[in-house]
Structure 1
Amino acid sequence: MASATTTDIEVLEQARQAIAPDYEPSDDEPYMNERQVNFFRMLLLEWKRSILNASSATLQSLQDGPIREPDLNDRASSETDWSIELRTRDRQRKLIAKIDAALRRLDEGEYGYCEVTGDPIGLRRLIARPVATMTVEAQEAHERREKISRDD
Structure 2
Amino acid sequence: MSVNATEGVSPGIFAMAGSSTDATRQAGDDQQMFLELMVAQLRYQDPLNPTDSGEFLAQNAQFTALEKMQEVADATNALLSVQMAFGASGMIGKTVTWTDADGDTRSGTVSGATFLATGPVLDVAGEQIPLGAVTSVATPANTGATDTTSEDPTGSTAS
Q: TM-score range by the shorter chain?
A: 0.3 to 0.5
- Higher helix proportion: 1
- TM-score normalised by L of structure 1: 0.38
* Bigger Rg, which one: 2
- TM-score normalised by L of structure 2: 0.37
Relative contact order higher in (CA < 8 Å, ≥ 6 apart): 1
